[in-house]
Structure 1
Amino acid sequence: MQLSKLDLLFKAGTPIVNVSTPLCERITVLELIYQEIAVNKNIPLYVWNAGWGCFKKFKADSQNNQFYPINLKELQVINDGIFAAFDCLLSYDGEGVFIFENLPSLIKETLPGYFGISSRIISQVINTFYELSKCELAKYVVLMTTDNTELPQSLCDLIPTLSTPLPSFEEIASSIQIFLTKYIGKLPRELEISSLVHATSGLTIEEIRTGCALAFHSAHQIDTQTLASHLLSYKISRFLAFNLNFIPSPNVPDFGGLDLLKDFIKKAKLDFSGQARDANIPLPKGVLLVGPPGTGKTLAANVSARELGFPLISIDTGAVAAGGATYLKRLLTRVEACAPVVLYFDEFDKLFAANSVTGEDNTNNKQILGTLLTWLQDKHSPVFVVATLNRLDALPPELTRVGRFDEIFYVGFPQAIERKEILTLHLARFDQRYCNGGNPLTSKEWRVILNKTVNCTGAELARMVEKAARCQFHQGREILIGLAELLEQREAMVPLYVRDTDRILAIENRARYFAQPSSSPDHSEYAPAITTFWGNSQNHSSSNFFD
C-alpha cells in the first residue's frame, strides 16, 4: 500500500495507520502528512519519539520546517514515557494528527526493569485504536517506522501499513532539474536528463538531492557523462550501505563448459525483447543454480548479467536473514526501480536456515519466505533472479515448485572437455601459446592432465594454473606452462571432492531428480571410456551425471 492512501484510510474510519519509510525521507514524509492531512483538515500535527519523550508540534512551509515545544497543558510536555503519551492523547479534548516515531522498536526491545513492557505497549495501542474509533473528535494516529522494524503480528491484523514509494522516472527527472538548476543556474541544452535519471534510479528524492550536490561539487566540468558518472558512484555507495552490491556492467571473462546453461541464458535474453512482449511471452523469472562450492555458480551469475546486458545487483543473504521481511521488501523495491537488472542471491539457503539451538524454523524466516514467494510469483518487472546454493534440500519446497523459477540447474564437476576449456582459458592469461586457439599440448598430454583432474572444480583448475605461473615468475623464468608444471601443481593440491566426498555425493544425489544438467554429455575424444562390470566398452551416451 502506498502513502497516498493515508487520507483515504482515515476517511474510512481507520484511526491508526503504520507508515514505513527510509530514515533519510523522515522530514519529507512529515511534510507530506502535514500538507495532505493537517493543513487540509485544518488541524495541528504533533510528533512523539523516544528521544524527546514528549510531543512536539510540527509545522512546515515553503521556506522551512520546524518542531515547536507545546504550551498546551493537556498534552504531554515533559519526558515521562510512552504510556503517559497515550494517556494524554486519549484525554486531550482537541483534534490533531499524532505521530509516534519507531514505536515498533520500543515494542521489540526488552527494557531492564520493565517486565512485560512489550505486551503493555501492544495492549495500549489496541485500546487506543478502539477508543479513537468511537471518538467524535478528529484524532488521527500515525506510527512512523524508519528502522525496518515490523509491527507485531497482533497489530498487523488490526493496523494497515503504508510505504513510501520510490520516485518514478518523471519525478526523478523533475527533481534532478530542480536540484541542478539550484547549483548551476540554467541547464545546458545538451544535458541528457534521461541518462542522469538512469544513474539515480533506485534512490529516494533526498538521496538524489545529496547525489546532485556531490556531483556538482566533485565534477570538473558539467556534462552528461561526468555528472552521470558521479551520480552512479554515489548510488553504488548508497546501495552498499544497504548490503546491495551494484555492478553497472559486469566485466568478467567467459567460462568453460555449462553449454546448456549458456543456451538457457541466450533464450532468456530473447524473452526480454520487445518481440517477446508483442507475442505475449511472459518475462523470465530466474534460475536456481545448485552444486558443490567452486564449480562456477557465482561466475555463471556474473556472465548471465553480461550476456543479458543488465546491471548486476547482489544481495547479502546474511543481512537479509538478520533484517527480516521488511528489510527485504525495501531492498526488492530498490532493485525493481533499477530494472532491467539481474538480482543475485549467493548462498540462497542461508535465508531459511533453522535455529542452531532448537533446529526449528523461526518466525523471521517464515516472513522472509512469504515475502519472497509473493514477489517471485507476482513480479512483472524485468528482474532476472539468479540464486545459488549447495544443497537443494535446504530450500523450502514452496520455492522449488513450478512458477517460482524458470529452471533449476545442477552445476557439478566439469567433464573432460569442460576441464580442457577451463584450463585453456586460464592458461591463455599467462602463456601466449594458448591464445587464439593455440594448443602447445599434444592430445596424449591433454589426456594425462584431464585424467589427473577428474572431480576437480573450476576454481581448483584455475588455482593450479595460477600457481604454476606464479612459480615460474618467482624463478625469473619466462612463463611457459606445460604438462609437467600442471602435474606438479595437481600433486600439491587436495581437491574438495577428496576432502569431503560424502557431502559432495549427497549434494549430487539429492539434486538428481530435481535439477536439469547444466552441461551436455561429453562425447569428445577426451571423454573417459565407459565400461561394464566385465570390462566391455560402452558408448558415451550415459556419461552425463543425469543420464
Structure 2
Amino acid sequence: MENLVDQLRQAFLGKHPVAFVVSWEEQRVRRALQHFSGRLLRDQQLAVVSWSCCEGFDDEPPEQRTLDPVHAVTRVVRGSEPKIFLLHDLPAFFDRPQVVRAVREAYGQLYGKERYLFFTAPELRTLPAMLEREVKVVDDGLPTDEELTRLIDSVRSGYGNQSLDEEGVRQLGFALKGLSLNQARHTLNRVFRTRGLSSDRIFAEVFKDKEDAVRKAGLLEFVPQKVELGQVGGLENLKEWLQRRQKLFSREAIAEGLPAPKGMLVMGMSGCGKSLAAKAVASLWQVPLFRLDMNLVSSGLFGSPEASFDRATRTAESLAPAVLWIDEIENSLGIDEGGVASSTGVFSSFLTWMQEKPPMIFVAATANRIAALPAEVIRKGRFDQVFFVDLPTPNERRDIFRIHLERNGADPDQFDLDVLAIASRGWNGAEIEQAVVSARVDAYSEGRPFVMSDVTRSTSSFVALSKTMHEQMKAIRSWAFGRATLASAEKYTEAERGALG
C-alpha cells in the first residue's frame, strides 16, 4: 500500500479535486483514504463516504438511497462539509454523456474546497479522453514485497503454521507476486489450512491461482510444470546458461542493480528439444509458464491483433515473475520466407515490448525457419542469447534414450545404449522418443515387457527427418554457423558430420 499512499499524498498536495484510482481492491483504497482523513485539516477529521450503484451512499438512510451516478456526483458537488467521497465503479457509466459532464463540472466546482471526489475501477482504459486533463490518475498497482511478507506472516500465524523458514517465506512471497492481496489471501488460506504440504505443493497451489487468472483473461495458456532440466537430453551449453542466470531472476539481484535475464531464442532442427528447453526454464526457476497463443491474438475475438497483443503482454506482466513461451516465433509473428511480417503492427509492438518490458518476464522463444527471422528479432537487446539446436551427437542420443527408457518404465542398464546411439545416427530427440514408445507398444500388445530387440527393430523401421529433408537441414545448419551459440557443448566428430552431410 506504500505506493498507493504516496500517490494519494501527491494528489492531496496538488489539491486535485477529482481522482481516478485504478485498483481491483476497493477496501484497500478506502483504508488508504482513511489514512489521510485526519491529516488534511488541523482541527477536523474528514469522513470517507463510499457510494455504489446498488447501495447508494453509506451515510444516507436506505429509503433515500442515491443510486443514479449523475445524482451521486451532483450530491458530492452541492454539499459544503469537508469530506472525501469514494464512488465505486463510476467509470462503468462513462458511456453516458451526462455522467462524463457531471464529473467535468465537479472538477471546477470542487477545486479549492476540502471536498474530494475519488472513483475506482480495475482498468485505466475506461477513462474518456474528455476527462484526461481534469482527472488525476492514481494507479494502485500490485502488492509490494513487504505487504506480501506481512500477509504471509499474518495468515500462517492464524493457522499456527510455522513450517516455513525465512527463506521459505521469501520464496513464497516471490511466487505470489502478480496476485492482488485478496487473491493472495485466498491462496494462503487454502495452503495453510492444508497441513503438511511440501514446498513444491505450495508453489503448485500458487501457480494454480495464476492459471485461473490467465484463463479469465484469455490469449495466454498456462502450461503445467512437468519438465525438469534433467529431462532435457544434451544441450549442455543452454542448460548451463540457464543455471547461471537462475539467481539473476530474483528481486534481490534487481535490488543490487543486476540486469534480470530478458529472454532466449532457441532455433534449429525440428524435434530437437527447443520447446522442451523452454518448458524447463520455468521448472528450474520455480515460476509459472505461460504460452502466448498468437492464433487467438490474430483471430479478432479480443479486438484488433495489436490490441490483443497488448492485452496479452499486460496480463503476463501483471502475473510476473513468469516465463512467457512463444513457440515458432516466425509463424507467431507472421514472418514469411523473405523476413517480412504480415502484421506490421503486431511485429512492431513485439519489438518495442521486448525492448521495454519489465524485468521479471522472461521470454522463451523458439524458431524452426531461422533464415526467415529478420535482424530486428535476433539482434542483441531483444534476447540475451540466441541458441542453435543441432541434431544430437552420439553421447546426447545415449542420454535421450536413457531418459525415454526410464520414462517408459524400463531399466536403461538392460539396454546397449552405445548400439542404440549408432543405430539412431541423424535422428532428432522426438524420433528417439517415438522409437522407444513404439517398442513398448509392440511388446505390450504381446503381453510382455519391452527389451533391447524391440527397440532395435523399431529403429530399423524409421526414416529420419534428416534424410527426408536433408537439403533443408543442411541450409539451416549453414545459416546458423557463426550467427548463434551452439546449445550443445559436444561437437560432432568428422565421421559423424560426414555421415550427416
The answer to whether the superposition gives a TM-score over 0.5 is yes
In 2 relative to 1, CA 191–8 (structure 1 residues): closer, same or farther, beyond 3 Å? same
In 2 relative to 1, CA 446–316 (structure 1 residues): closer, same or farther, beyond 3 Å? closer
Question: 1:313 — aligned with what?
Answer: 288
In 2 relative to 1, CA 268–99 (structure 1 residues): closer, same or farther, beyond 3 Å? same
> Within 1, Cα distance between the matches of 2:51 and 2:240?
57
SS of match in other structure, 1:295: coil
SS of match in other structure, 1:459: helix
* Alignment of structure 1 residues 325-474 onto 2, 5 Å: 325=310, 328-329=313-314, 331-336=316-321, 343-347=323-327, 349=329, 353=333, 360=343, 370=352, 372-376=354-358, 379=359, 385-390=363-368, 400-414=378-392, 418-419=396-397, 421-427=399-405, 429=407, 434-435=412-413, 439=416, 442=419, 447=422, 449-450=424-425, 454=426, 457-474=428-445
Root-mean-square deviation (Å): 5.1
> Within 1, Cα distance between the matches of 2:26 and 2:408?
54
SS of match in other structure, 1:27: helix
* Among 297, 305, 309, the residue aligned to 2:274: 297
* Alignment of structure 1 residues 451-530 onto 2, 5 Å: 454=426, 457-482=428-453, 484-487=456-459, 489-490=461-462, 515-519=484-488, 522-524=491-493, 527-529=496-498
> Within 2, Cα distance between the matches of 1:392 and 1:85?
59
CA contact (8 A) 1:17 1:162 kept: no
Is 1:77 the counterpart of 2:60 in the alignment?
no
CA contact (8 A) 2:223 2:290 kept: no
Cα deviation, residue 123, structure 1: 5.9
> Within 1, Cα distance between the matches of 2:406 and 2:198?
38
SS of match in other structure, 1:523: coil
Q: Letter of the aligned partner of 1:410 in structure 2?
A: F
Cα deviation, residue 295, structure 1: 2.9
In 2 relative to 1, CA 433–105 (structure 1 residues): closer, same or farther, beyond 3 Å? same
Q: Deviations over 1:94-127 (max 9, x none)?
A: 55434344455555xxxxxxxxx47x48964883
> Within 2, Cα distance between the matches of 1:490 and 1:525?
24
Q: Deviations over 1:370-419 (max 9, x none)?
A: 5553235xx3x6x7553335566898976644234211123354466644
Question: 1:286 — aligned with what?
Answer: 263
> Within 2, Cα distance between the matches of 1:405 and 1:386?
9
CA contact (8 A) 1:408 1:515 kept: yes
Q: Letter of the aligned partner of 2:457 in structure 1?
A: E
In 2 relative to 1, CA 279–262 (structure 1 residues): closer, same or farther, beyond 3 Å? same
Q: Unaligned stretches of 5+ in structure 1? A: 59-67, 108-116, 220-224, 337-341, 531-539
* Among 210, 231, 240, the residue aligned to 1:254: 231
Cα deviation, residue 316, structure 1: 3.7
Q: Deviations over 1:65-92 (max 9, x none)?
A: xxx65787xxx8134xx55555555555
In 2 relative to 1, CA 55–286 (structure 1 residues): closer, same or farther, beyond 3 Å? same
SS of match in other structure, 1:262: helix
Question: 1:36 — aligned with what?
Answer: 35
SS of match in other structure, 1:240: helix
* Among 11, 27, 48, the residue aligned to 1:9: 11
CA contact (8 A) 1:246 1:312 kept: no
Cα deviation, residue 11, structure 1: 2.0
> Within 1, Cα distance between the matches of 2:114 and 2:243?
59
CA contact (8 A) 2:351 2:382 kept: no
SS of match in other structure, 1:288: strand
Q: Letter of the aligned partner of 2:366 in structure 1?
A: T
Which region of structure 1 is more displaced relative to structure 2, 464-473 or 147-156?
147-156
> Within 2, Cα distance between the matches of 1:257 and 1:229?
26
Q: Deviations over 1:127-159 (max 9, x none)?
A: 357535x73323433342236856467766764
> Within 2, Cα distance between the matches of 1:335 and 1:252?
21
- Aligned residue pairs total 468
> Within 2, Cα distance between the matches of 1:155 and 1:496?
62
Cα deviation, residue 6, structure 1: 1.4
Q: Deviations over 1:156-191 (max 9, x none)?
A: 67643412331424x44443443344455xx77x87
Q: Letter of the aligned partner of 2:14 in structure 1?
A: A
> Within 2, Cα distance between the matches of 1:469 and 1:345?
32
Question: 2:305 — aligned with what?
Answer: none
Q: Unaligned stretches of 5+ in structure 2? A: 215-220, 303-307, 335-340
